[in-house]
Amino acid sequence: MSSPTSSDNLNNEGAADPSGDDASSSNQRTTDRETNEANNNEDLLLRIGTHNTNGIQDTPIRGDKVVKAAKLWEQQKLDIVCLQETHIKEDRQEVNYARFLGQLNTTLSQLGVQDNGRHWAIAAQSPSLTGGGVLILVRKNLKSALERHATQRTAGGGRRNSTQGYYTECVLNWGGHRIRLSNVYVPTISSKKGGQEEGRRQVRRQLFKKVLKETNSDSNREKNTIRIWAGDFNFVENPALDSSTGRQMGLDVELTGLRQAEHPDMVDIYRHLGNQQREYTHIARTQTSRRLDRFYINEPMKECVSDTTIIPEDQATAVSDHRLVVLCLSPSH
């Protein structure tokens, strides 16, 4: 076979070779551009977490709880996180909140996150009287987005009452939205009789019949407000998907009916987005798993949610016996 002429070489060199360097460079540029666009789109989202931390102080069992929490929330790029079961008592709340924030933000500094708006601040809180304790943290660069008159509202207007430690909320303006974010901890109860169990049963009812109803009534008067409930609800509405046993516990039935009757416009956004896999947020000592931690949103605003995810954890990264759940909110167009 004769060797190619110089003109053949020129023609071959000028041809577009999909396996050549030019094609590789072009493909790499396309990949880089797509990656940058994806990152830019992600940066536009408001990332809200809900996490039952089962205490926010270090313990002998989970001595590095705060460090683990700081790393996990930073890894997930959270802008807001709603905490349940802080176990912060009313009489020492200022000292304990300050200690917790100090540990949290010191860890961020050690991770290389500078205090240029990405450190944490308290938006709303309700300390524990007999159990629970709820807290909403926001990045400092979001503090100016908070409506100050609404940031410290708690069940009962901040007065000492049976639902203290189980509910708090904040209102913020972000991305063209007005967002009313409720942090809810529905206490557990057993089938036993007694004053303490009856008190918790009353709290469970009051949260849905009174506290959340009043909050939703306020929001209904506020046009285009996104209403979000974040929390540990301690019951499941769809046991076939949300419980490893597939059975609905008797104690779930009342709250399922109450939630659906009193708040029919609030939807479980994880299921509403089409997630049909069996995935859980809490594993009990009995190895029974349930999806107790979730987000609800008023149905007309569900299109504002781009995603909601249950974050997998292992023993090395777990903050508590509950998994972090993340909701991503898109700005208005």
Strand ranges of the sheet holding 225-232, from the earlier edge strand across to the other edge: 167-174, 177-185, 225-232, 293-298, 266-268
Known catalytic residue at 91: no
Known catalytic residue at 185: yes
Is 234 labelled as part of a ligand binding site? yes
Query: Which residue is catalytic, options 232, 242, 252, 268?
Result: 232
Is 37 labelled as part of a ligand binding site? no
Is 265 labelled as part of a ligand binding site? no
> Residue 167, by phi and psi: left (phi above 0), alpha (psi -120 to 50) or beta?
beta
Is 268 labelled as part of a ligand binding site? no
Query: Which residue is catalytic, options 166, 167, 185, 270?
Result: 185
Known catalytic residue at 280: no
Residue 270: partners with Cβ closer than 8 Å, 6 or more residues away: 291, 294, 295, 308, 310, 325
Note every long-range contact of 216-223, with CB atoms under 8 Å and residues 24 or more positions apart, other chains counting.
216/263, 216/265, 216/266, 216/298, 218/180, 219/180, 219/298, 222/178, 222/180
Question: How many whole angstroms separate alpha carbon 181 and alpha carbon 172?
Answer: 8
The strand pair at 177-185 and 225-232 is best described as parallel
Question: How many whole angstroms separate alpha carbon 74 and alpha carbon 328?
Answer: 15
Count Cβ atoms below 10 Å from residue 16 Cβ, excluding itself.
8
Question: How many whole angstroms separate alpha carbon 239 and alpha carbon 278?
Answer: 10
Is 183 labelled as part of a ligand binding site? no
The DSSP letter of residue 276 is -
The DSSP letter of residue 149 is G
The strand pair at 266-268 and 293-298 is best described as antiparallel
Torsion over CA: 196, 202, 206, 208 (sign): positive
Is 322 labelled as part of a ligand binding site? yes
Please say whether the beta carbons of 146 and 138 come within 8 A: yes
Q: Which residues are annotated as a binding site?
A: 52, 85, 232, 234, 321-322
Q: Which residues are annotated as a binding site for Mg(2+)?
A: 52, 85, 232, 234, 321-322
By annotation, the residues acting in catalysis are 185, 232, 322
